[in-house]
Structure 1
């Protein structure tokens, strides 16, 4: 049987200072119990009429056992030093047999002796051998007390064999129980380590996901807003150079409004609120403001087609905020791409709701942004904006399609399930 101290000396074993302290507390009880057994035996000897030299021999043998336990046994129980354990066991067996030879009541010592053999000796086969030797020595001691003749020896042997069998079975059971407890402790330690690693992994994944989310939010809001501010400021500067003060004033008004919107977006991002354009308004209204702003900034007209009621009770609203946010961000990204790459003269933003699904359930909501610009270049690959858009759409169970428009240019279509629909 092993203890916490053994495992503490082996790297990776599931024991720490608390386990060592717990084992030390258990050993203290082993100490007290063994001393109590020896003292009770010492008290019982004179009560049986034991007198004279044999009583003092028995007391001397028990004193030697206690001294050996104090010097070697107790230390071996805590350190698992097999040399100390073996030295003590030799004295224990000899002292017990001598004491029993003086008086049969001294067999009370076997309760502590057998237990100590199994507690101190490793591996289990050494405890079995020591138990056999202790039983044999005790049998000889009993026979010596009765005259050491063959009939007495044959009478004592079966009784001691029963005690030996019981001690071995009990010892093996205790050893198995302690070994299983050791395995459970090891498994519990491994489980705790796995939980800690999993928690750390989840934390790292959460940090990464949050960074990606913030990056998408900044790209879809603040970065585009700052791009608009720079563009409008350049346009205002050019207008001033040409002496067109009214035109420059118009650009500066757009700069101011865009900066205010960006500031509101930044505050909402920090506070983890819903996107500012959707606070207190429907998706259709937010798209209308977005289209008007895009036209004011670029001069490119945007045709907004919202099927159903503009207040969101008809065919334009998804019925849940997450999908509305995805559609709004998709529209922002699509218009930003038109501004940067398309060179378009006209843009159409269309928001529609499909019919009910087969078997019941709400249909999908589609957002389509198309332009008449130069279209997608050969070998087109998603940039940061489109990649972020795909992740957003996928998160709500939707689909994103980017390709050429029917009459040229580019067409971006986002389809998300409405409330009551299945992703």
Structure 2
């Protein structure tokens, strides 16, 4: 597995992203985009700032206007070092002053703006008070495709993150499972993700026996037993881009029913991955997976969407779910993760990250390559 550090994104890369965001906003009938600390700000500018800071930090993007970052004076030196700083104008404000008076002149007085989803309510309310004729809509609603289509450098990082998750799975299968607590295996998964290059671990789910019927079960003190089916779901960020994979393993020999359920999920996951191609709606991926499971008699036990986008966060648009009519385009990356969950008994989930390729090169490519067979562990 390649573990080298990829080349950093350049100021030109960030300039292109900010320009694209401004154009997309104009095309959507918005006066601009307002970006608070969080993944959108990192993706657009390379500037990392704690998302829980109470001081206003706001990137303002609008067509025909130079990108401007409103930032607290005490954080301005760090903002000036960001990779995309050369493409922005910095406007700082000092404690004791009204930051909305600094931001307001950058906004149209009666415009409608897209706002990053994690913006603080008090900052949005502050802007509304200063500019009462403005209105706001979340970026997920207004510009869901803003980060959805990845370029070659982003795809390279996502592939490397997937390979690191695959290496983690291959190693965890070698350790003892029976007689150990879920939380101990969860910590071991986290250690392995870091060993294989992840700087951030977002989740390491170990859902054993009846806990496997809860898709988001938090690993606890349950001791894994012989005969348990175990859902493993883990991921995080490597070089700023996400991994997310699920495999289901079994302690000792499974029953015929357990094998049958696993086979159904594997068939559904394969069919959904095979269905990926440019031009189909996101909901079609969900429909394909759901039909396989429903036809096998387990439809009521598939209780979540088939997939979610991935990039600088491990969950982001687009979503593979009924009602999502956004068409797939080359460069999109998302999970395909159908599951069956039998309450009080066990669950099965299989998940790969898939990227949409060009029509001539096939419909989609998996970024995870580990076996999807039911693995037997000790």
Fold agreement, TM-score > 0.5: no
TM-score tier after normalising by the smaller chain length: under 0.3
Question: Which structure's CA Rg is the greater one?
Answer: 1
Which of the two has greater strand per residue?
Answer: 2
The two structures have a TM-score, normalised by structure 1, of 0.20
The two structures have a TM-score, normalised by structure 2, of 0.22
Which of the two has greater helix per residue?
Answer: 1
Q: Which has the higher contact order (CA 8 A, sep 6+)?
A: 2
